[in-house]
């Protein structure tokens, strides 16, 4: 009996190809299409396309109607049912309001993590299952693998049956596993990532092969509900700007900014340095005092001189993660793993130490600027162990 899959179709090429691959799948071609063994008893999928309506502020021009029309065209071309789910209020509360409140508190949140947790694999997954779906699928560049399959072999925690790994997408330039660290075993058992084993160039070629109207459509960029608007311009509609001073690592005033709340550690824009020589390199934010509305900046290449940089000491950086979630198992203390502190950033060697049931302490082997509110995701090779939010 065929399993039913609700595919989140955004109107872009990745989700559209995902739906096409699922529609094409048969017992004879499954392995070729998805790069893994055919599941026992597989007989094909009943595919349903779903467009998810989210929230957009009134002051930003929204192209959601055009995206929905593209999604409808794709579903019509594939001859699959089309549904629209309205999650505008849930999105406003769980993603947009969360992001604004975190910036107002001087933290650096990741709204895409919350969108995946609360919307795509929260209310969307729950509604799909309530309507009889066996799975939901999205166009994420990530993979779900049985722990017994080829790859890192992990011992499951006591009392938990053999489960699933969340793994990086094959294309390192598109891998989106960083945004998915909040997933759990129950969710992974109901999620499909049809293009995680493909490179973007292959996805484009498949879109052409399937005759999809979105084959040459450009990828969307940035935070999903902002469009082309700058994040700081968006936040200024909700958080009052207030001019403050920029100081160097010696405490000397060298410039000004429009509000420490709008800036994050490591940022190189959003402030003006007036006192600099022609030989100075770019400056970046290394500390901020939200109460005093002061930011500290330094030139690139001088990180190891920043003895007072937050959470940093010469040679290593200590960070504390709260709200931790471990997908297959918790990391082992003092074993070397790698971690990302932001999407598509460097994979940094690190070690993990436990400080309580809901938070851990981590140590990077080199000096790294880590901001409160950021998501740090821990990897064991290609496997996502989980992650947490920097306290």
Claim to verify: residue 177 and residue 72 sit in the same structural domain: yes
Claim to verify: residue 316 and residue 301 sit in the same structural domain: no
Is the CA virtual torsion 387, 346, 205, 383 positive or negative? negative
Give the residue from 118, 123, 179, 121 showing the smallest Cα distance to 374. Answer: 179
User: What one-character-per-residue DSSP string does 353-364 give?
Assistant: EE-SSSEEEEEE
Q: What is the pLDDT of residue 305?
A: 37
Query: What is the CATH classification number for the domain harbouring 336?
Result: 2.40.30.10
Confidence of residue 353 (pLDDT cuts 50, 70, 90): very high
Claim to verify: residue 44 and residue 162 sit in the same structural domain: yes
Confidence of residue 359 (pLDDT cuts 50, 70, 90): confident
Q: What is the pLDDT of residue 63?
A: 85
Q: What does the pLDDT look like over 110-119, one tens digit per residue?
A: 999 999 999 9
Give the residue-averaged pLDDT of 343-366. Answer: 89
- Looking at the domain assignment, is residue 234 inside a domain? no
Claim to verify: residue 249 and residue 125 sit in the same structural domain: no
Claim to verify: residue 136 and residue 99 sit in the same structural domain: yes
Record the tokens describing residue 142, joined without a space. 């990530």
Whether the pLDDT of residue 157 is over 50: the answer is no
Claim to verify: residue 110 and residue 13 sit in the same structural domain: yes
Higher pLDDT, 154 or 117: 117
From 62, 75, 167, 224, active-site residue: 224
Q: What is the helix (H) or strand (E) element at residue 352, kind and residue range?
A: strand 348-354
Whether the pLDDT of residue 156 is over 60: the answer is no
Judge contact between 50 and 124, C-beta under 8 A. Answer: yes
From 75, 115, 167, 350, active-site residue: 115
Q: What is the pLDDT of residue 62?
A: 81
Cα gap 320→306, rounded to integer Å: 20
Give the residue-averaged pLDDT of 65-91. Answer: 97
Domain boundary among 268, 288, 305: 305
Whether the pLDDT of residue 186 is over 70: the answer is yes
Our answer to whether residue 62 is catalytic in this structure is no
Q: What is the pLDDT of residue 279?
A: 81
Claim to verify: residue 25 and residue 107 sit in the same structural domain: yes
> Please, is 355 exposed, middle or buried when counting C-beta atoms within 10 Å of its C-beta (0-12, 13-18, 19+)?
exposed
Give the residue-averaged pLDDT of 228-236. Answer: 84
Lowest-pLDDT range of 81-90, 150-159, 303-312: 303-312
Claim to verify: residue 152 and residue 121 sit in the same structural domain: yes
Q: In the chain, how many domains are there?
A: 3
Domain boundary among 283, 305, 327: 305
Q: What is the pLDDT of residue 300?
A: 59
- Percentage of the chain lying above the pLDDT 90 cut: 75
- Percentage of the chain lying above the pLDDT 70 cut: 90
Our answer to whether residue 350 is catalytic in this structure is no
pTM, two decimal places: 0.91
Domain boundary among 209, 231, 266: 209
Across 57-66, 150-159, 284-293, 310-319, the highest mean pLDDT is recorded for: 284-293
Which residue carries 């509900």 as its tokens? 225
Record the tokens describing residue 254, joined without a space. 């060298």
Confidence of residue 146 (pLDDT cuts 50, 70, 90): confident
Claim to verify: residue 50 and residue 91 sit in the same structural domain: yes
- Looking at the domain assignment, is residue 231 inside a domain? no
Q: What does the pLDDT look like over 341-350, one tens digit per residue?
A: 999 999 999 9
Confidence of residue 219 (pLDDT cuts 50, 70, 90): confident
Cα gap 346→150, rounded to integer Å: 25
- Looking at the domain assignment, is residue 180 inside a domain? yes
- Looking at the domain assignment, is residue 120 inside a domain? yes
Cα gap 293→288, rounded to integer Å: 7
Alpha-helical segments (H) within the chain: 13-24, 30-34, 64-78, 88-91, 97-104, 111-114, 124-130, 185-188, 200-209, 231-235
Contacts of 184 (CB under 8 A, 6+ apart): 325, 327
Q: What is the pLDDT of residue 334?
A: 85
Q: Torsion angle, CA of 363/367/373/374, rounded to 10 degrees?
A: -90
Residue numbers of the domain that contains 117: 3-209
Q: What is the pLDDT of residue 373?
A: 96
Give the residue-averaged pLDDT of 91-116. Answer: 95
Which residue carries 């290394």 as its tokens? 286
Claim to verify: residue 202 and residue 330 sit in the same structural domain: no
Q: What does the pLDDT look like over 116-131, one tens digit per residue?
A: 999 999 999 999 999 9
Higher pLDDT, 305 or 361: 361
Query: What is the CATH classification number for the domain harbouring 273?
Result: 2.30.30.280
CA angle in degrees (0–180, nearest 5) for 201-346-234: 80
Whether the pLDDT of residue 8 is over 50: the answer is yes
- Looking at the domain assignment, is residue 290 inside a domain? yes
- Looking at the domain assignment, is residue 334 inside a domain? yes
* C-alpha distance from residue 201 to each of 152, 168, 205, 207 (Å): 27, 17, 6, 10
Claim to verify: residue 75 and residue 112 sit in the same structural domain: yes
- Looking at the domain assignment, is residue 270 inside a domain? yes
Q: What does the pLDDT look like over 19-59, one tens digit per residue?
A: 999 999 999 999 999 999 999 999 999 999 999 999 988 88
Q: What is the pLDDT of residue 222?
A: 60
- Looking at the domain assignment, is residue 8 inside a domain? yes
Judge contact between 327 and 386, C-beta under 8 A. Answer: yes
Whether the pLDDT of residue 331 is over 60: the answer is yes
Claim to verify: residue 114 and residue 45 sit in the same structural domain: yes
Mean pLDDT of the chain: 89
Query: What is the CATH classification number for the domain harbouring 89?
Result: 3.40.50.620
Q: What is the helix (H) or strand (E) element at residue 321, kind and residue range?
A: strand 316-326
Q: What does the pLDDT look like over 163-173, one tens digit per residue?
A: 899 999 999 99
Give the residue-averaged pLDDT of 186-208. Answer: 97
């Amino acid at each position: 009996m065929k399993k039913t899959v609700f595919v989140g179709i955004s109107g872009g090429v990745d989700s559209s190809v995902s739906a096409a691959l699922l529609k094409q799948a048969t017992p004879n071609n499954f392995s070729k299409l998805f790069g893994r063994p055919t599941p026992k008893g597989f007989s094909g999928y009943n595919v349903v396309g779903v467009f998810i309506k989210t929230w957009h502020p009134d002051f930003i021009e929204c192209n959601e109607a055009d995206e929905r029309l593209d999604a409808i065209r794709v579903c019509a071309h594939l001859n699959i049912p089309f549904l629209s789910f309205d999650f505008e209020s849930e999105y406003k509360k769980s993603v947009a309001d969360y992001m604004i409140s975190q910036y107002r508190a001087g933290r650096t949140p990741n709204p895409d993590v919350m969108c995946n947790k609360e919307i795509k694999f929260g209310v969307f997954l729950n509604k799909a299952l309530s309507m009889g779906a066996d799975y939901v699928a999205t166009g994420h560049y990530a993979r779900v693998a049985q722990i017994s399959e080829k790859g890192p072999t992990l011992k499951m925690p006591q009392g938990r049956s053999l489960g699933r790994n969340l793994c990086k997408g094959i294309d390192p330039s598109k891998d989106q596993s960083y945004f998915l660290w909040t997933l759990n075993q129950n969710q992974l058992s109901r999620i499909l990532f049809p293009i995680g084993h493909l490179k973007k160039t292959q996805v484009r070629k498949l879109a052409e092969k399937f005759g999809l109207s979105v084959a040459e459509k450009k990828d969307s960029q940035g935070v999903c509900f902002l469009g082309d608007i700058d994040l700081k311009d968006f936040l200024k509609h909700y958080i009052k700007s207030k001019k403050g001073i920029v100081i160097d690592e010696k405490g000397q005033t060298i410039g000004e900014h429009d509000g420490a709340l709008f800036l994050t550690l490591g940022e190189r824009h959003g402030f003006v340095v007036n006192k600099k020589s022609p030989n100075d390199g770019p400056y970046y934010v290394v500390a901020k005092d939200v109460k005093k509305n002061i930011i500290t900046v330094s030139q690139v290449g001088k990180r190891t001189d920043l003895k007072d940089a937050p959470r940093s000491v010469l040679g290593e950086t200590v960070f504390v993660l709260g709200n931790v979630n471990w997908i297959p198992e918790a990391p082992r203390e003092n074993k070397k793993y790698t971690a990302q502190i932001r999407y598509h950033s460097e994979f940094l060697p690190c070690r993990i130490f436990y400080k309580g049931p809901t938070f851990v302490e981590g140590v990077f082997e080199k000096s790294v600027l880590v901001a409160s509110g950021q998501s740090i995701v821990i990897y064991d090779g290609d496997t996502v162990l989980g992650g947490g939010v920097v306290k």
